[in-house]
Structure 1
């Protein structure tokens, strides 16, 4: 029987960052992941945005999470000698004079912790961009090549033997006070569920208030559109190089379609035409299901009655920004070196677990 310190189920952005942190600390880690190309992490554009939504709200813990994530991805770039993180300005377009005035009024209170570099009420003249009302220049964000990052980590895991490219059958897991045993083959001190939206079917964690939603993205070619920044108005437009851009994302609630849809394609194309008048060609389209949470905060921590099990996920659309810092937080908690933050701890939802559920 194989012995390990931690068994991590799932190798999306949550599981991959956690497994990396644990391995860097010298722990023996085994990861199970079926390698789904349409997972939320593989579909995502990897945007890290400090100010989000029509309300121009500062993202939760942005001042801590963004620089931490940037340093983390830079470390992985050095490890694999491969570019993953592009620190890029974000230009958030105003859609009307009313929106322009509302943001300018809020700016007097300095609500964005220095992440807004400049507000402009006139068109900045970006190539191919239709911005008659100006917008806000955001700093401190950027985008991560998530698919390429996960592929590099998975290749390392396959080569070194710590990644098992297969699904995980929770019915074959048994736990006791000293740890857990899986399928009579693996003995682990602790098991961490990082399954993303699939956790709604997990027999140990299905009671958590996960509210999965489906998102679609387009890859387009648009010659002449400025590639020097991320654009955002109703949709994000992330430069991929060579005149290519990723446009996203839609939000759909269950029941979900099987894969990309014509409706999603039309919606994203329409949003892009608001940002640019230039012609574009759609090169590809993908769909994935995000693991969102009712209160829009992640979920970390131990199962209420099975101390050898923990949960890590519920990152929604902000996984790239959240994952590095929360991986370190959970690793510190597992080592007895830190307390989980109350606003991410599973304990806030323990009352939802029905009596008699494992």
Structure 2
């Protein structure tokens, strides 16, 4: 029997960061993960952008989340002797004169802090870039090689025994026998806590199916474009992340259910048109990939403990910003699990208690009607 403090389900960016934080605190951890090359974390470009969206809004808690994320990835770089985080200015391009005027008028209130030093400054002359309306130059952003991060941690986990590749079966999770504490899985693992980090698959989770997880599908392109500068990340309806040697990742689309089976021509056309709006240089598509993000109705992650099962927890729902949010929130979640520290209300699953109570009441009514 394997005995651990924490059994973590899933090794995407959520499960990986939480496992690292708990292990750093000296806790025993076992991660069970089904390898999925096209998981959301593996497909993601790893963009860390503090100013996002059509409203040019400062990302939620960016001043706190960004430094924690950078520190986390840089510590992994030292540990593994690899480069994972590439800091680069982000050029967020205006689409029209009206948009330019609106954003520059807002800049008088300095809504972006030190992420934007001078909103009125012209953009640098960038090889291959269309910038007829100008844009914002965003500092302290960049991108993370997410697939490489997860691969390095998974190799370490398999070597050291704290990660196993297998598909988790919820029906094999039962209370510990003989009055023991915690839960037992498959007659071979006993854990004090089980933490669900399985991404979009959580819609099938029997403990947390009541949460408003609304997965969406995204597609990305890898392109070759030797005429475009690789000094900057570009953003205008899509992002363009430099991968080196004239290679870029362009993304991403958003599609709600029903999902397509794999990649689509529509997504390729959409992303190609968005790239053409940013560069006049010819490009060649070298790869197209699709993945499903674990998004949430209010665009905030889901952290907390099941209302009726104190051994079962959720750390999930990071959507398209998991690379930036997960390291700091893993620290927050570990404080909650280990010390009972209160979670931030914006991410605490208690904000959806009414949904749980509704499901519970419906289940009770169904049981009464069946008797």
Which residue number in structure 2 is paired with residue 109 of structure 1? Answer: 109
Contact kept in structure 2, 1:124 and 1:134, CA below 8 Å: no
Matched, 1:22 2:22: yes
Matching residue of 2:261: 258
Structure 1's consecutive aligned runs of 4 or more residues displaced over 3 angstroms after TM superposition are 120-124
Q: CA deviation at 1:120?
A: 4.5
TM-score, length basis structure 2: 0.94
RMSD of aligned C-alpha atoms? 1.3
Give the Cα–Cα distance (whole angstroms) in 1 for the partners of residues 66 and 32 of structure 2: 28
Within the candidate set 329, 347, 355, 2:360 is matched to 355
SS at structure 2 position matched to 1:114: helix
- Distance in 1 between the 2:8 and 2:23 partners? 11
Match of 1:335 among 327, 338, 341: 338
Distance 1:301 1:167 in 2: 23
Q: Deviations over 1:212-258 (max 9, x none)?
A: 00000000000120100100001100000000000000000000011
The residue number in structure 1 matching 2:146 is 146
SS, match of residue 164 in structure 1: strand
1:274 matched to which residue of 2? 277
Distance 2:123 2:312 in 1: 53
Aligned-residue offset at 1:25: 1.2
Is 1:64 paired with 2:55? no
- Unaligned runs of at least 5 residues, structure 1: none
Unaligned runs of 5+ in 2: 365-371
Residue pairs, 1:297-312, within 5 angstroms: 297-312=300-315
1:45 has 2:49 as partner: no
Cα distance, 1:57 vs. partner?
A: 0.4
Is this contact kept in 2: 1:175–1:306, CA < 8 A? no
Aligned residues: 358
The equivalent of 2:90 in structure 1 is: 90
Shift of 1:121: 6.9
Q: Shift of the alpha carbon at 1:119?
A: 2.5
1:289 maps to which of 283, 292, 296: 292
Match of 1:12 in 2: 12
Q: Distance in 1 between matches of 2:18 and 2:210?
A: 23
2:246 is aligned to 243
CA 1:123 to 1:163, structure 2 compared with 1: closer, same or farther past 3 Å?
A: closer
Contact kept, 8 Å, 1:237 with 1:246, in 2: the verdict is yes
Deviation at 1:175, TM superposition (A): 3.2
Q: Which residue of 1 is the match for residue 191 of structure 2?
A: 188
Residues of 2 paired with 1:169 and 1:35: CA distance?
15
Normalising by structure 1, we get a TM-score of 0.98
Counterpart for residue 367 of structure 2: none
Displacement of 1:117 after TM fit? 2.5
Distance of 1:106 and 1:80 partners within structure 2: 43
